[in-house]
Structure 1
Amino acid sequence: MARPSNTEERRQQIVQGLLSVMAERGYERASIAEIAKAAGLSPGLVHYHFTQKQEVLLALVEQLAARSGERVRARLERSKGGARAQVDAFLDAFLATGEDADPDAVAAWVTISAEAVRQPEVRAAYEKVVRADLAQLEELVGAVIGRRRARAVAAGLFAAVQGYFVLAAASPELIPAGSASSTVKRMAAGLLDAEPASEGTS
């Protein structure tokens, strides 16, 4: 495997610096100086690799999406029990604790979702990631209950995941330790095992 170039390494350092600062101070208070300090670099070097702070944020969106994708792939590969187990594995990838859990990434993702409301460029990047994740969940759900109901059920489960992200970032003490994944999986069981809704109902 090829070694990353010095430019790639520096860019990754800077993006990791933003992640660290955002986890503590949020995006608004993540100055270039603070990002540089967290990255162990000079502010001038940050400006050399990124012309503005938003570019660092967009690179962070890409990195978080890649990490999340790897986590999902690993969980799906390890899952046993067919289509139903794959849905649980997907939910675990986002919500379960463990060695691959990343609280800073969860906090950053909540901040990114807030910035997506304010910044069109961030919204486009955020929506691209969410669309891909939701499409994957919809496909997994569809393998269990069929395509007709899959989109609504997948959207409901994904909204629950995002809601847990917000609570974990804003008020973590409100969530009993280790309860997020098990609770959403119980929700999934109820939705996936329910009788099909009649036409015209939501």
Structure 2
Amino acid sequence: MPRPSNTEERRQQIVDGLLKVMAERGYERASVGEIAKAAGLGPGLVHYHFSGKQEILLTLVGQLASRVRERVETRLAKLKSDDSRARVDAFIDAFLSRGEDAAPEAVASWVTISAEAIRQPEVRAAYEAVVRADLARLESLVADVVGRRRARTIAAGLFAAVQGYFVLSASAPGLVPAGSAAGTVKRMAAGLLDTAEAKEEAS
């Protein structure tokens, strides 16, 4: 595999710097100077590689989306069967489980990004594109269990629970028992899927 260019390395350092600072202090207090310091670079290099803080943020949105999608696909690939319910659980685990690949800084930053999506139209567009794609993926997995008719509602409810756990864990971490999120949402999924299957059989 070819070695990344110096420019790619520097840009990645800067994006990682924003991730670190934003997870600790939020977006507003993530100054270019603080980002540069966290990246181990001078502020001039930040300005050289990015037009501004928002461009770094938009790059981070895309990277966080790619990382969680890799987690989803890795978990789906590890399944030994085509059990549709296990595939829904794998999706939930990819977002909420606390294994070796858990990323608390990414979760905290994602919560901050969702807040910035309310304030900045460009961030809103990027955020919405990510959420739409992730929700569509979950909807397709749910549809494999209960069919298309009820899949959207169930997927939306489960995805809202995932995002809610993100907010709680980032803003009030003591309120969520450690390691409980994935199991709780998977039990919610089981209840919703059981109910939908029962309705399907009754109709």
**Unaligned residue ranges in structure 1 (runs of 5+):** 198-202
Worse-matched range after superposition: 153-162 or 66-75:
66-75
User: What are the superposed Cα offsets for residues 70-108 of structure 1, whole Å, 9 maximum, x if unpaired?
Assistant: 111111111234111000000000000010000000000
Over the matched positions of the two proteins, sequence identity in percent amounts to: 75
Give the drift of 1:126.
0.3
Match of 1:200 in 2: none
Match of 1:128 in 2: 129
- In structure 2, what is the Cα distance between the partners aligned to 1:143 and 1:105? 30
1:24 matched to 2:24? The reply is yes
Give the drift of 1:116.
0.2
- In structure 1, what is the Cα distance between the partners aligned to 2:90 and 2:80? 9
- In structure 2, what is the Cα distance between the partners aligned to 1:196 and 1:178? 32
For the Cα contact (< 8 Å) 1:76–1:89, is it kept in 2? yes
Instruction: Tell me which amino acid in the other structure corresponds to 2:71.
Output: R
Match of 1:172 in 2: 173
Match of 2:57 in 1: 57
For the Cα contact (< 8 Å) 1:87–1:137, is it kept in 2? yes
- In structure 2, what is the Cα distance between the partners aligned to 1:161 and 1:196? 25
SS in 2 for 1:196: helix
- In structure 1, what is the Cα distance between the partners aligned to 2:108 and 2:199? 36
User: What are the superposed Cα offsets for residues 101-129 of structure 1, whole Å, 9 maximum, x if unpaired?
Assistant: 00000000000000000000000000111
For the Cα contact (< 8 Å) 1:16–1:39, is it kept in 2? yes
Match of 1:196 in 2: 199
Match of 2:75 in 1: 75
Size of the aligned set, in residue pairs, is: 197
1:6 matched to 2:19? The reply is no
Instruction: Tell me which amino acid in the other structure corresponds to 2:57.
Output: L
TM-score, normalised to structure 2, is 0.95
For the Cα contact (< 8 Å) 1:32–1:46, is it kept in 2? yes
Match of 2:85 in 1: 84
Measured on the aligned residues, the alpha-carbon RMSD in Å equals: 0.9
Q: After the TM superposition, which residues 99-118 of structure 1 pair with which residues of structure 2 at under 5 Å, given as runs? A: 99-118=100-119
Give the drift of 1:196.
2.7
**Unaligned residue ranges in structure 2 (runs of 5+):** none
TM-score, normalised to structure 1, is 0.96
For the Cα contact (< 8 Å) 1:149–1:196, is it kept in 2? no
